């Protein structure tokens, strides 16, 4: 028996997995490693008599450092017993079945079914559990939890494991200052680093409102949690603190001061020391403020709601007045009001995010929103999906930032970036474009590109695909290190299949490809399993002709909250 931990020692020089040197020479180093490309190659010598059967148990696990000395012996001994291993394996299977059975879909597309029922929620849950804690191969350091990443991950579990979502919201609350600022990264409660990113605090609104619509757990808004600066307040107080952050972080155009980035961390020097202004950030603020306004209405917090409405309208008006470039919305204002993401620029003339979030925030009249998304399709779409911006930057610009130092066609510099494409799919659904939304969705499935070209796991969403602005177009990178899975999962369920939670009940609003004749979904919502069957006899992309709930026609697309274990819903589109 033996083992190897370093890929290069196992495969050898000038070889590959077809002829590894360690197998050929029957030589494993039996050495641990804390560097290089780590692998786990195990060798066992087994002798079997005719008809004999033996079982081998391989344990791979983690024990917390603080508990290692006390538990290392008992844990290892426990799993040397084959019966204990079998019982634990059953428990693991049951745990995943509980997670994966919370939503089940059956569509005419087998590939969509496989990803929405298995691979995508699996990746989303893995990201929630461990993907945000450390990222060694990406950064080379342990980076802690990203606040915005952690907030968005609530999407991954709010249906299947609402208790975990609740815990995560309370954790996020403890990383906030009473001014509404938050740690950009945090390591333990009250320990982290602050930056000048303009978007971080508002993701807290997103996490709280998504959780509340899913669960109806209004008690959480009165839960008291400490701020970082020694004060304490309810979750509602934390939300109000975010509102104050918004008021104090607007620039000359009443748009967010860019600081050291917004969602796009590589736009880290827009406007130099003054920070410039983020147009996407303004749209994001509108979306999040709308979510907060809706919650405040439910809570009958009239004064704060009116304050939020006034602020939201001011930002929306500025976007309409200052940010339209004729065919699309610009990305930012830099030094001396210079436009970024404009026809007047040499590089980065159009960005995907502002076009999609203009729709998500409904910041303009519909014709302008339609035109913005049409421009995105025309200028950004490729055989692999839409690029994050075009043309890619090919000259370093210190007044824009790191994106101009990235290789053209990779990362945020003109790649097909998965995360913002989920928002483009959502935007197309909101505009009623089921065929276009589905085309984007299909293009970005991880197995849609030949694996020799794709090069990462064909079942995992990567961070990006290299675009046609680079010779290695179609190559994926940074698999797992992305928030894409949670967003793609929920955008597909909530907006494409169109079954999403509201404070009053489930909203039925499918926006599907016109060639689909039908689809079905099982979905847990507030303790009830909804069995939903949608037929599309007229082959429309959007529109509902009839909804029947438990044998009775209803006049509204928002289904009243049921007190039954199972609720049957039949929908006719048209």
**375: β partners:** none
Q: How far is it, in rounded angstroms, from Cα 520 to Cα 565?
A: 18
Q: How far is it, in rounded angstroms, from Cα 243 to Cα 295?
A: 13
CB hemisphere CA count around 188 (13 angstroms): 0
Token representation of residue 64: 């917390």
What are the catalytic residues? 265
Nearest alpha carbon to residue 102 among 53, 157, 143 = 157
Alpha-carbon torsion (560, 561, 567, 570), positive or negative: positive
Task: Say if CB 277 and CB 315 are below 8 A apart.
Answer: no
Q: How far is it, in rounded angstroms, from Cα 396 to Cα 3?
A: 47
Q: How far is it, in rounded angstroms, from Cα 443 to Cα 274?
A: 39
User: CA geometry: angle at 481 spanning 429 and 162, to 5°?
Assistant: 65
Nearest alpha carbon to residue 281 among 340, 238, 338, 232 = 340
| Structure-token match 């001061």, residue found | 257
Peptide bond preceding 385 in cis form (omega within 30 of 0):
no
Token representation of residue 255: 């748009």
Token representation of residue 65: 């450092």
Token representation of residue 487: 């967003």
């Amino acid at each position: 028996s033996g083992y190897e931990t370093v890929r290069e020692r196992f495969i050898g020089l000038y070889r590959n997995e077809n002829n590894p040197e360690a197998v050929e020479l029957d030589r494993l180093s039996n050495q641990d490693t804390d560097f290089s490309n780590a692998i786990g190659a195990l060798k066992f010598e087994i002798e079997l008599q005719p008809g004999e059967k033996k079982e081998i148990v391989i344990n791979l696990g983690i024990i917390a450092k603080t508990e290692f000395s006390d538990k290392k012996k008992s844990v290892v001994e426990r799993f040397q017993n084959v019966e204990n291993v079998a019982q634990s394996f059953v428990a693991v299977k049951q745990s995943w079945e509980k997670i994966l059975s919370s939503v089940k879909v059956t569509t005419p597309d087998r590939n969509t079914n496989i990803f929405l029922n298995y691979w995508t929620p699996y990746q989303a849950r893995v990201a929630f559990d461990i993907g945000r804690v450390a990222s060694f191969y990406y950064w080379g350091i342990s980076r802690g939890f990203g606040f915005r990443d952690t907030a968005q991950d609530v999407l991954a579990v709010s249906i299947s494991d609402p208790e975990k979502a609740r815990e995560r919201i309370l954790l996020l609350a403890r990383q906030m200052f009473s001014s509404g600022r938050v740690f950009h990264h945090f390591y333990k409660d009250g320990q982290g680093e602050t930056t000048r990113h303009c978007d971080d605090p508002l993701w807290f609104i997103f996490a709280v409102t998504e959780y509340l619509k899913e669960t109806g757990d209004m008690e959480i808004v009165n839960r008291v949690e400490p701020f970082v600066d020694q004060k304490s307040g309810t979750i509602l107080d934390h939300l109000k603190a975010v509102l104050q952050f918004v008021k104090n972080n607007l620039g000359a155009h009443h748009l967010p001061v860019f600081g050291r980035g917004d969602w796009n961390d590589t736009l880290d020097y827009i406007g130099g020391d003054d920070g410039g202004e983020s147009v996407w950030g303004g749209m994001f603020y509108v979306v999040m403020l709308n979510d907060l306004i809706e919650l405040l209405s439910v809570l009958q917090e009239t004064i704060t709601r009116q304050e939020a409405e006034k602020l939201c309208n001011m930002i929306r008006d500025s976007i309409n007045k200052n940010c339209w470039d004729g065919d699309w919305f610009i990305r930012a204002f830099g030094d001396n009001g210079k436009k970024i993401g404009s026809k007047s620029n040499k590089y980065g003339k159009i960005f995907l995010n502002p076009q999609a979030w203009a729709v998500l925030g409904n910041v303009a009249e519909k014709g302008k929103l339609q035109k913005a998304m049409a421009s995105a399709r025309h200028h950004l779409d490729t055989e692999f999906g839409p690029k994050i911006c075009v043309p890619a930057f090919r000259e370093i610009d210190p007044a824009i930032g790191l994106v101009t130092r990235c290789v053209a066609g990779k990362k945020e510099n003109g790649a097909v970036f998965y995360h913002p494409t989920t928002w483009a799919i959502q935007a197309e659904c909101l505009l009623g474009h089921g065929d276009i939304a589905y085309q984007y969705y299909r293009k970005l499935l991880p197995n849609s590109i030949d694996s020799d070209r794709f090069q990462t796991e064909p079942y995992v969403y990567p961070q990006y695909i290299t675009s046609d602005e680079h010779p290695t177009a179609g190559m994926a990178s940074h698999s797992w290190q992305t928030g894409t899975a949670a967003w793609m999962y929920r955008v597909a369920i909530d907006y494409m299949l169109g079954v999403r939670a509201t404070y009053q009940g489930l909203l039925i609003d499918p926006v599907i490809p016109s060639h689909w004749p039908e689809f079905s979904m099982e979905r847990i919502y507030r303790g009830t399993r909804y069995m939903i069957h949608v037929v599309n006899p007229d082959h429309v992309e959007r529109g509902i002709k009839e909804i029947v709930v438990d044998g009775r026609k209803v006049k509204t697309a928002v289904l009243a909250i049921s007190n039954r274990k199972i609720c049957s819903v039949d929908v006719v589109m048209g």
